[in-house]
Chains A and B, each alone.
Chain A
């Protein structure tokens, strides 16, 4: 049997942080960016509360954005903001 971790007085703990704790697990929908439509305007990244979209490719003319699913919580703001409707909110299968 694995020994249980002991509590500390006042429950003082190691500092928490999202480097280790991936909040994307809360997601019901995932934002999926269609690179055929993406014009690289970066509005998805700018509007995301978590900074999940990031530049991941370049087709020679335009930047393309991808989503970091460790942190995307599926709120849909990026899909709402996208000027060319390149982002689909796809239900997670769990």
Chain B
């Protein structure tokens, strides 16, 4: 029987990773990811993960390289990182995707220096969106843990063969204590069979991985990764359905909608702020305002069709980004507008909010949604806003 326990989000992720029986776990500690790998290293040291080697490395670059090597040799692997650590992994993350190695990594989302901040936003993962990794985004700790298990099944599917990053908000999820339903090992084993690599390094049957690609084949190699990303959409939905059948929860898939029936305004975002948004929507619905929430669970591949379907009857869409593409706008805002282009007449408003751990409250979301209604009425509302930017503290001339 599965066991409901009140545990820290990091421990829930560690328990999920353990249940997937990785042969190699390698990581370098960084706030706020530390507890995840600390818990796993404890499990390994205690003998609770007998067939797993925990490899300590000198840096995140080393940790990423370690899981790359493990997967190339045909072993299931796990890592976790955050912020600067993810940035240091950057080169290897591209290599892992290009080599089509289905590594799974938890990303405890945190802002990226400079200025230094240990608090949550989404800049670390968002800045890694183009490297070929599938990106899943969790709203709560149960979802984060469930997504780890689904991530292996998605990535290791031979239609996909791509690495998967499971994003959970630093501190807000990694350090929160919530009831989490833990896993019966037998059920996980039935759900997730051992990893069967398409190719693996073997001295008896040598192969070359990571070859040079001349201009005649490079484009095709990149296209193959893109094609796998697109095919992953179907696999992600399948795996979420399989997971529900096995464990009784739907905690994956591409998008989730909340109170979108008859919604004129939709709030759309990723991560733990969705919970606050749902509370805001509950209050507004009681006040008679037709508002709903669209949660992006999968950011890469970007679920264009699912979003078009979810947002087809809305008149205004408020996109909240906890990151910024400098010199442009919030990346989800850009992606959503591109995805809806010529498919929707809805007004789309972008809000950059919650950077570097700044709180976003129920009142803030209600305010954003109200701006959506104002826009529908034709009132002047800026299309892209740095939400609650404190202009009083900006220097003269800015």
Contacts and interface: CB of A to CB of B under 8 A. Distances in A.
Interface residues of B, number: 18
Interface string A13-38: 11110000000000000000000000
Contacts of B99: 10
A84 interface: no
B221 A12 contact: no
A12 B207 contact: yes
Majority secondary structure, A binding face: loop
A15 B207 contact: yes
B211 A13 contact: yes
A16 to B, nearest CB: 5
Majority secondary structure, B binding face: loop
Contacts of B224: 7, 9
Contacts of A9: 100, 161, 198-199, 224
B217 A10 contact: no
B206 interface: yes
Contacts of B209: 10-12
Contact of B221 (A7, A14, A15): A7
Contact of A7 (B101, B161, B210, B217): B217
Contacts of B85: none
Interface of B: 98-101, 161, 198-199, 206-211, 213, 217, 220-221, 224
Interface of A: 7-16
30 contacts: A7-B217, A7-B220, A7-B221, A7-B224, A9-B100, A9-B161, A9-B198, A9-B199, A9-B224, A10-B98, A10-B99, A10-B100, A10-B161, A10-B198, A10-B199, A10-B209, A11-B98, A11-B210, A11-B217, A11-B221, A12-B198, A12-B208, A12-B209, A13-B207, A13-B208, A14-B207, A14-B208, A15-B206, A15-B208, A16-B208
